[in-house]
Structure 1
Amino acid sequence: LAGWFDERLDVGASGCSGDSEMWYRIIAEGWTCRYFPHLKVHHQHRKTKKELHRQLFAYMRGHVSSILVQYEKYGHPGDRHRVYHSLPRYYLNKIKYCFIRLKISKFPGILNEIAGAISGWRFYQKNKLPAKNLRPFRSLYEPQNFEAGSLVSVVIPCYNHAHYLSEAIESVLKQDYPHVEVIVVDDGSDDDTAGICRKYPDVKYLNTKRAGLSAARNYGVKNCSGQYVIFLDADDSLITNAISIHIGHFMSNPSAVFISGAHQRINEHRAPLPDVEALTKWGHCYDALLQGNYIAMEGSVIYRRELFHAFAFDTTLTACEDYDLNLRISRNFPTFTHINIVAVYRIHQQSMSADKKMMLQQVLRVLEKQIPFLQTSHEKDCYQKGVQNWKDYYSQKTPD
């Protein structure tokens, strides 16, 4: 689920660190590693100083190249900072220390490690990979007729929202479409999320360490069995015939890879809030999404599950990960949006969307990721409109 060992690392390639890159990737993909200190493995150490120097050179070569591979795959800024700032500062301080303390004998070892680090950087520059080519299932390019009895999986990520969770679960279990699977991904909650799930024997409960919303959703979809997938936040809910409505639109639009609907907004006391005008749109919705996230609520979207063999929520984003995903999908495949209300979106002080400064930073980052893919002047115009629309939206004062 986290992929294979990277063939550019370890013996015969960069030298080492293929294992540490794998551990990093496992955690970055939302999984966890457990440490058992009583389990031991014996390791044959180098016998001579010459062999030790060779090992340290290989270690630093593999270490630097593996960090750059990690940055290539996930874009975590801390990885780049380690290579271009932390390591140079570390070795500069070691050299200064040796000069001050007159420990001249340590210089060959330090220079050997620095040479290994530089060698690792040069190795990566020769072997870095271009951006991943999209390799979705061929079936996504073909119309798919909805088959009676198809299973719909509803993934509910939950972090300390146990007080809302029952409402979300029951809104799925009460659907008038009977073929439904509910998966709750407990993202390291310290409330009674697990206890709430135990009340529902038909709910599949998954527990992870705190990994974030994107990782929790990715984990959920990897453990679901349905041909279609909905991602419902624990503080939101579906209306009783939401899935039936979506199915009807899939039957009318068999080429669509995802279908989105409208939603109703409420506050934390369930009082209705003004609704945003919904729209109907068919085909390549990429240009419309560039100008703004008209979908607005992830729980109002149903996806063909094959999508997630080629797509995933971006774990480097702290918000707007659904907007990012839907932009990437709609850039490549036809989608459909209808105006039927299918979900209820709860807005409260704990909602991430309440932090306007953070939301603006994240949404502009999402749009910037699309710049390399803008092919026409129309798409570029839509992008510019989108940037301005988001700035205008988040500069508005919140009504009292």
Structure 2
Amino acid sequence: MEPKVSIIIPFYNCAYVDQAIQSALNQTYKNIEIIIVDDGSSIFTEKLMPFREKIRYIQKENGGTATALNTGIDAAKGEYIAWLSSDDYFLPEKVTKQMAFMLNNHAEASFTNYDYINEKNEVLIPCYGQRFSNVNEVYKGFLRYNVINGCTIIVKKNIFEKLGYFNPYYRYTHDYEMWFRLLVSGYKFYYLDEVLTKFRTHEEAGTRKHQPEIKKEMSIIENHYRPLLTKFIK
């Protein structure tokens, strides 16, 4: 039987959450569970109602995306974890193709490319992420910036159990810190050169609203991890 994949969708006052959930339900990979972690939302919760019988719903006090992801990972029954932001969406073949790629390569962690879209689901920039031909190039990429879009990853759950969950101290860059943590601990991130996720820009997007805080957190993370990462680069 194919391994179970838990798709975790952190949700906080997001108008696009229904599209995210529907894209998870549309996956051609059948052995999945969909976990919605409501991080103290006060609006758009009605968008969850049509899906309540098809998802696992967890409600918590607001604590930020890292805490929502951690709650979802802790509750997950899957052997693998996928993360989908509530304003993004997966293509139907996302999990099928990525899991086949991982199993064929004996990969414990992987990521893919993605399209950059707007509020109307129109593609602004296709294949927006950097492309890689091998794992060593991924290491080198992290010496410049965060090359992994969190909503393109699939990671074995036991990695989080070994290394710890997302660090809530980094409210906006918890994913960046986690990818560094995996890499310097000896785990390899394999890259699948396909667009399987749509990453949305909109007025309420955190990447737009919190740039000063993001840059400050990134500086702390990079100063700590980049010297440690250099020993893995060939």
Q: What's the TM-score once normalised by structure 1's chain length? A: 0.54
| Residues 1:289 and 2:154 are matched in the alignment | no
Q: Note the C-alpha offset of 1:240.
A: 0.7
Deviating beyond 4 angstroms after TM superposition, the runs of 4 or more aligned structure 1 residues are none
Residue equivalent to 1:269: 120
User: Which residue is equivalent to 1:199?
Assistant: 50
In structure 2, the residue matched to 1:350 is 204
Return the alpha-carbon distance in structure 1 between the equivalents of residues 227 and 189 of structure 2.
22
For residue 134 of structure 2, give the secondary structure of its aligned residue in structure 1.
strand
* Structure 2 match to 1:50: none
Match of 2:88 in 1: 236
Deviation string for 1:208-260 (max 9, x for gaps)?
10111101100110001001111111001000100011012112210x22110
Letter in 2 for 1:264: D
Is residue 177–residue 244 contact of structure 1 (8 Å, CA) maintained in 2? yes
Cα RMSD after superposing both structures = 2.0
Q: Given the alignment of the two structures, is residue 175 of structure 1 paired with residue 27 of structure 2, yes or no? A: yes
* 2:183–2:229 contact (8 Å) kept in structure 1: no
State the alpha-carbon separation in 2 of the partners of residues 366 and 149 from structure 1: 36
Match of 1:6 in 2: none
| Structure 2 letter corresponding to 1:149 | E
- In the TM superposition, residue 277 of structure 1 has moved relative to its aligned partner by 4.9
Pairing partner for 1:329 from 182, 195, 198: 182
- Residue type of the partner of 1:280? F
Determine which structure has more spread, i.e. the larger CA radius of gyration. 1
Give the Cα separation in 2 of the matches to 1:281 and 1:214. Answer: 30
Question: What displacement does 1:356 show?
Answer: 2.6
Query: What is the alpha-carbon distance in structure 2 between the residues aligned to residue 186 and residue 304 of structure 1?
Result: 23
Higher RCO (CA-CA < 8 Å; seq separation 6+):
2
Residue 6 of structure 2 aligns to a residue in which SS?
Answer: strand
User: Can you list the C-alpha shifts for 1:43-88, whole angstroms capped at 9, x where unaligned?
Assistant: xxxxxxxxxxxxxxxxxxxxxxxxxxxxxxxxxxxxxxxxxxxxxx
Matched, 1:249 2:101: yes
State how far apart, in whole Å, the 1-side matches of 2:67 and 2:158 are.
Answer: 18
Report the Cα offset of residue 318 of structure 1.
1.8
The answer to whether the Cα contact below 8 Å between 1:186 and 1:208 also exists between their aligned partners in 2 is yes
SS in 2 for 1:345: strand
1:150 lines up with 2:25 in the alignment: no
2:61 equivalent in structure 1: 209
Q: Which amino acid aligns with 2:124?
A: L
Letter in 1 for 2:108: V
Query: What is residue 111 of structure 2 aligned with on the other side?
Result: 260
CA 1:305–1:294: 2 relative to 1, 3 Å: same
Report the TM-score when normalising by structure 2. 0.90
Task: Determine the C-alpha separation between the residues in 1 that align with 2:68 and 2:205.
Answer: 17
TM-superposed deviation, 1:281: 4.0
Larger fraction in helix: 1
Q: 1:375 to 1:338 in 2, by over 3 A?
A: closer
Is the contact between residue 4 and residue 78 of structure 2 (CA under 8 Å) also seen in structure 1? yes
Consecutive unaligned residues of structure 2, counting only runs of 5 or more, are none
Query: Could you tell me which of 294, 318, 333 is aligned with 2:171?
Result: 318
CA contact (8 A) 2:113 2:152 kept: yes
Residues 182 and 204, structure 1, Cα contact 8 Å, conserved in 2: yes
Q: Is the 8 A contact 2:143 2:226 kept in 1?
A: no
Q: What percent identity do the matched residue pairs reach?
A: 22
Using the TM superposition, give the Cα deviation of residue 294 of structure 1 relative to its aligned residue in structure 2, in angstroms. Answer: 1.6
Structure 1 CA distance for aligned equivalents of residues 229 and 77 of structure 2: 35
Equivalent residue for 1:20? none
Cα distance in structure 2, aligned partners of 1:244 and 1:301? 13
Paired amino acid for 2:141 = A
Amino acid across the alignment from 1:224: A
Gaps of 5+ in 1: 1-147, 380-400
Q: Superposition pairs for residues 1-400 of structure 1, below 5 Å?
A: 148-161=1-14, 163-193=15-45, 195-200=46-51, 201-254=53-106, 256-275=107-126, 276-283=128-135, 285-295=138-148, 297-310=149-162, 311-331=164-184, 332-354=186-208, 355-370=210-225, 373-374=228-229, 376=231
- Whether the 8 Å CA contact 2:114–2:199 is kept in 1: the answer is yes
Contact 1:151–1:181 (CA<8 Å) still a contact in 2?
yes
